[in-house]
């Protein structure tokens, strides 16, 4: 499975591509940051993020895009920028028919380090170790994007089993004779 991880941000949007399957060594195919100038208008910044993500999608052809789920913070301005960048990543993937998975920061940290409260340095160190890199990707947004991709690859089999179980547990949508009578009366 090839996954593009996106750590959304309006100034720095981390992107990283990881390939592999759960239980086997993973390979980093690319990592970077889509940057926008802080003094540019919001619309221009969003266009720049879209162009950057589209370029990554063109180059790496991921099967899935894993995006950090936006969570509430005290700084509304930061949340808005993060949400906007997140929406751009989801839009780019959806436009191409690529599935999108959202993971919370604590889910990613727990998957990568074993603790949902790990700090950026711990996440960077584990990403370095898991992908057999010489040094942690810089800036931290890039390492976070790789962590998102790794998290999804590791969690995908369990998430898929849960989805199948939910679908199997749903009642059939074929109308029964009793429900047809109620509708026609």
Give 109-141 pLDDT, tens digit per residue: 999 999 999 999 999 999 999 999 999 999 999
pLDDT of amino acid 172 = 65
pLDDT of amino acid 174 = 58
pLDDT at 73 over 70: no
- CA terminus-to-terminus distance, the chain: 52
Active-site residue identified among 68, 134, 144, 167:
68
Active-site residue identified among 58, 141, 144, 167:
141
Active-site residue identified among 7, 41, 119, 167:
7
DSSP helix/strand/coil, 75? coil
DSSP helix/strand/coil, 147? helix
Contacts of 94 (CB under 8 A, 6+ apart): 100
pLDDT of amino acid 157 = 75
pLDDT of amino acid 184 = 45
Q: Is 7 a catalytic residue?
A: yes
Instruction: Please compute, for residue 20, the number of CA atoms within 13 A of its CA located in the half-sphere on the CB side.
Output: 20
Determine the average pLDDT of the residues in 85-112.
97
CA dist., res. 32 & res. 177, Å (int): 58
Structure tokens at 71: 């969570």
Structure tokens at 159: 């998430």
Greatest CA separation for the chain: 72
pLDDT at 104 over 80: yes
Report which of residues 175 and 140 the model is more confident about.
140
Q: Is 39 a catalytic residue?
A: no
Residue found by looking up tokens 């950057």 in the block: 52
Q: Is 134 a catalytic residue?
A: no
pLDDT at 42 over 60: yes
Structure tokens at 51: 């162009």
């Amino acid at each position: 499975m090839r996954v593009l991880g996106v750590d959304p941000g309006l100034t720095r949007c981390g992107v990283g591509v990881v390939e592999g399957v759960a239980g086997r060594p993973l390979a980093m195919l690319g990592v970077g940051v889509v940057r926008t100038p802080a003094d540019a208008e919001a619309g221009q910044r969003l266009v720049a993020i879209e162009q950057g993500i589209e370029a990554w999608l063109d180059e790496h052809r991921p099967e899935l895009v894993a995006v950090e789920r936006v969570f509430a913070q005290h700084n509304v301005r930061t949340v808005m920028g993060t949400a906007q960048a997140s929406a751009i990543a989801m839009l780019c993937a959806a436009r191409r028919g690529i599935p999108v998975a959202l993971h919370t920061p604590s889910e990613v940290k727990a998957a990568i380090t074993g603790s949902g409260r790990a700090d950026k340095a711990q996440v960077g160190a584990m990403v370095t170790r898991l992908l057999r890199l010489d040094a942690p990707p810089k800036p931290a947004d890039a390492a976070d994007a790789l962590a998102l991709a790794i998290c999804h690859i590791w969690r995908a089999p369990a998430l898929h089993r849960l989805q199948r179980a939910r679908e199997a547990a749903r009642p059939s949508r074929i109308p029964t004779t009793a429900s047809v009578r109620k509708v026609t009366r």
